[in-house]
């Protein structure tokens, strides 16, 4: 029988004439402070948006006292890799994240961001969101703005324009530079060009975070490049959503983690983030077509697909990708998450769609169906091609933190990756409690203090007097993810209370009316809004 959560009690603690010293006290909590130190029992007091006291017993009057006996009190989780601008304006409460204990969303990954950032930040701030929100400036967006989606090095004049845009992005509040060297136009960028832009972000206090060029055959070379960009650019460098794609390449994390260890040993500040699933998600075209076929944008791609000889070449390379890389060797391993031209395709796999078009289910016909989907307008996809052993090996590495790579979905719409609903609860439930791969203290550190330190968010991420009151309260015995690939629209369980900037945002299974999230700005913000 499932253990019942303690009631969140409103305890009247004021007597006549007494003014409250605190706005909220959490009593008898199991404090896990985010630093990976062992838990301890204490009370925690909040006034305004700040943690003002942590002590074995707090008896001064408070406007509210909540008894959290038996529950973990942790820093609110910081998701270092999200695509939250997909949906945040439709669902500003970001229920799927807050219900897991996430209090800060980091956007602008994979080389893609709004440009310029300042108007977007203003729009988010005016929206009144529940979690905090911060951004990277995207190298791919910057390159596309200056050069378009072309496969050539930048000229000196173009590079000057890109430098200016990265500088502007950092001055407008970016946390650093992101790249998506797997995607067009990032994959057309020479390494030295990325280093040049990374130097600017580094000089302005930012970090570099990269979706590498290749997570399959070119995995080791891509890790080597990511490390080199940080080493030569003079800034912290991060491999984002680190994984090994394609059964043929499973086990590759042994080498990549050794490379990270060697880089750190010689003084390179290289780190990792990861989501705890054996499937990735991106667009069908980006994942299953060769990059050269996507150069120049949609019209150029369609033109190539209409030419018989070029189409045959694309089909051959797509067949190999389905066989050896993101296709996981079987069209059944690719499913559609969303499809504007035919919403009924969401939830079907590539084998079913191929068969539905009257074709035998072969790798070649699956490639033909892939090209057809791109021609029709494209679809989002989920790709089951990651090995569990690599996942676990990366997860326990001390340089790894947690990031969902998720979005803010409309509940019930399409069939998205379950990581948007379950990432943080899944780590706590499956990999901490059930598999015992991590201690609870280490897992919390990977979700809070570690990303806060990495991003320079020095006022949150740790439970400490004087820091911002972003907190997650959960039952370590029951916290779990409930979202599956078949039924992804399902909220996590076991989190009972979430506080953002001192205000209760989630309590007793329900979102509150409070929307206390703030835009968090990077280290070189020129003029604070």
pLDDT digits (tens, 9 = 90+) for 453-475: 999 999 999 999 999 999 999 99
> Rounded to 5 degrees, what are φ and ψ at 107?
-115, 180
Cα separation, 33 vs 463, whole angstroms: 5
| pLDDT of 347 over the 80 cut | yes
- Count other Cβ atoms within 10 Å, centred on residue 358: 7
Segment 310-330 mean pLDDT: 95
241: left (phi over 0), alpha (psi -120 to 50) or beta: left
Q: Which long-range contacts (CB under 8 A, 24 or more apart) does 328-332 make?
A: 328/246, 328/247, 328/383, 328/384, 328/385, 329/246, 329/247, 329/385, 331/361, 331/363, 331/366, 331/369
At residue 314 the predicted structure's pLDDT band, cuts being 50, 70 and 90, is: very high
Residue-wise pLDDT tens digits, 210-232: 999 999 999 999 999 999 999 99
When comparing pLDDT for 35 and 7, which is higher? 35
Residue-wise pLDDT tens digits, 45-97: 999 999 999 999 999 999 999 999 999 999 999 999 999 998 999 999 999 99
- Give the CA distances from residue 459 to residues 92, 233, 235, 263, 335, in Å, rounded to whole numbers and listed in that order: 23, 27, 21, 29, 41
Q: What is the pLDDT of residue 309?
A: 96
Instruction: Report the percentage of the chain scoring pLDDT > 90.
Output: 95
Residue-wise pLDDT tens digits, 421-455: 999 999 999 999 999 999 999 999 999 999 999 99
At residue 528 the predicted structure's pLDDT band, cuts being 50, 70 and 90, is: low
Q: How far apart are the first and last CA of the chain?
A: 51
- Count other Cβ atoms within 10 Å, centred on residue 156: 6
Cα separation, 433 vs 429, whole angstroms: 5
Residue-wise pLDDT tens digits, 148-166: 999 999 999 999 999 999 9
Identify the residue whose tokens are 């697909």.
Answer: 305
Q: What is the pLDDT of residue 308?
A: 96
When comparing pLDDT for 521 and 8, which is higher? 521
- Count other Cβ atoms within 10 Å, centred on residue 266: 8
Set out the domains of the chain in order of their start, with CATH numbers: 77-281+385-459 (3.20.20.140), 290-381 (no CATH)
Cα separation, 494 vs 2, whole angstroms: 11
User: Which uninterrupted H or E stretch holds 117?
Assistant: helix 117-127
At residue 332 the predicted structure's pLDDT band, cuts being 50, 70 and 90, is: very high
Q: Apex CA 483: angle with CA 100 and CA 509, to 5°?
A: 45
What DSSP letter does each residue of 187-235 carry, written as one string?
GGS-HHHHHHHHHHHHHTT-EEEEE-S-SSTTHHHHHHHHHHHHHHHTS
Q: Taking Cα atoms as reference points, which of 449, 483, 446, 447 lies closest to residue 467?
A: 449
- Count other Cβ atoms within 10 Å, centred on residue 528: 6
At residue 18 the predicted structure's pLDDT band, cuts being 50, 70 and 90, is: confident
Identify the residue whose tokens are 């090095």.
Answer: 153
What DSSP letter does each residue of 445-486 carry, written as one string?
HHHTHHHHHHHT-TTSSS--TTSB--EEEE-TTT-B----SS
Q: What is the pLDDT of residue 23?
A: 98
* Residue 479 CA to its chain's centroid (Å): 20
Segment 293-307 mean pLDDT: 93
pTM over 0.75: yes
- Count other Cβ atoms within 10 Å, centred on residue 60: 12
Cα separation, 166 vs 164, whole angstroms: 6
Residue-wise pLDDT tens digits, 239-267: 999 999 999 999 999 999 999 999 999 99
Q: Taking Cα atoms as reference points, which of 120, 75, 49 lies closest to residue 501?
A: 49
Q: Which residues contact 16 (CB under 8 A, 6 or more apart)?
A: none
| pLDDT of 351 over the 50 cut | yes
List b or e across 211-227, with b for residues whose CB sees 16 or more CB atoms inside 10 angstroms: bbbbbbbebeebbbbbb
Instruction: Report the percentage of the chain scoring pLDDT > 70.
Output: 96
Cα separation, 234 vs 269, whole angstroms: 9
Cα separation, 378 vs 181, whole angstroms: 20
HSE value, Cβ hemisphere, 13 Å, CA-based, for 262: 10
Q: What is the pLDDT of residue 12?
A: 43
């Amino acid at each position: 029988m499932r253990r019942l959560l303690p009631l969140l009690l409103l305890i009247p603690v004021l007597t006549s004439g007494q003014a409250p010293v605190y706005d909220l006290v959490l009593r008898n909590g199991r404090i896990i402070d985010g630093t990976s130190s062992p838990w301890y029992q204490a009370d925690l007091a909040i006034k305004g948006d700040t943690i003002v006291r942590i002590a074995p017993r707090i008896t001064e009057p408070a406007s509210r006292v909540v008894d959290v006996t038996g529950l973990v009190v942790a820093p609110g989780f910081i998701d270092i890799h999200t695509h939250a601008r997909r949906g945040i304006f439709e669902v500003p409460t970001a229920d799927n994240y807050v219900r897991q204990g996430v209090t800060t969303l980091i956007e602008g990954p994979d080389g893609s961001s709004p440009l310029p950032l300042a108007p977007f930040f203003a729009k988010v701030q005016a929206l009144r969101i529940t979690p905090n929100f911060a951004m990277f400036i995207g190298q791919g967006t910057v390159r596309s703005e200056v050069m378009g989606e072309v496969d050539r090095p930048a000229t000196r004049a173009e590079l000057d324009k890109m430098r200016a845009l990265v500088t502007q992005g950092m001055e407008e509040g970016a946390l650093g530079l992101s790249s998506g060297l797997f995607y067009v136009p990032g994959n057309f960028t020479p390494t030295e060009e990325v280093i040049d832009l990374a130097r600017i972000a580094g000089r302005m206090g930012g970090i570099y975070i990269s979706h590498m060029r290749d997570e399959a055959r070119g995995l080791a070379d891509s890790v080597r490049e990511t490390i080199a960009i940080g080493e030569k650019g003079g800034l912290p460098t991060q491999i984002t959503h680190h994984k090994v794609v394609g059964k043929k390449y499973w086990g590759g994390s042994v080498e990549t983690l050794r490379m990270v260890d060697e880089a750190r040993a010689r003084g390179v500040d290289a780190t990792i983030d990861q989501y705890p699933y054996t499937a990735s998600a991106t667009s069908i075209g980006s994942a299953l077509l060769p990059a050269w076929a996507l150069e120049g944008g949609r019209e150029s791609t369609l033109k190539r697909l209409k030419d018989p000889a070029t189409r045959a070449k694309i089909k051959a390379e797509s067949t190999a990708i389905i066989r050896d890389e993101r296709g996981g060797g079987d069209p059944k391993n690719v499913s559609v998450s969303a499809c504007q031209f035919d919403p009924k395709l969401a939830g079907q796999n590539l084998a079913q769609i191929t068969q539905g078009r009257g074709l035998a289910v072969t790798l070649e016909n699956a490639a033909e169906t892939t090209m057809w989907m791109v021609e029709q307008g494209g679809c989002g996809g989920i790709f089951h091609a990651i090995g569990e052993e690599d996942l676990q090996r990366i997860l326990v590495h001390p340089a790894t933190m947690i990031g969902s790579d998720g979005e803010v979905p409309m509940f019930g719409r399409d069939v998205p990756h379950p990581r948007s609903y379950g990432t943080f609860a899944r780590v706590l439930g499956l990999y901490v409690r059930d598999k015992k791969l991590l201690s609870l203290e280490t897992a919390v550190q990977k979700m809070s203090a570690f990303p806060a330190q990495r991003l320079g968010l020095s006022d949150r991420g740790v439970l400490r007097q004087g820091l911002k009151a972003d907190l997650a309260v959960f039952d370590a015995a029951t916290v779990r993810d409930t979202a599956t690939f078949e039924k992804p629209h399902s909220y996590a369980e076991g989190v009972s209370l979430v506080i953002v900037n001192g205000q209760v945002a989630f309590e007793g299974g329900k979102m509150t009316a409070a929307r206390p999230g703030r835009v968090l700005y990077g280290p070189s913000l020129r003029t604070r809004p």
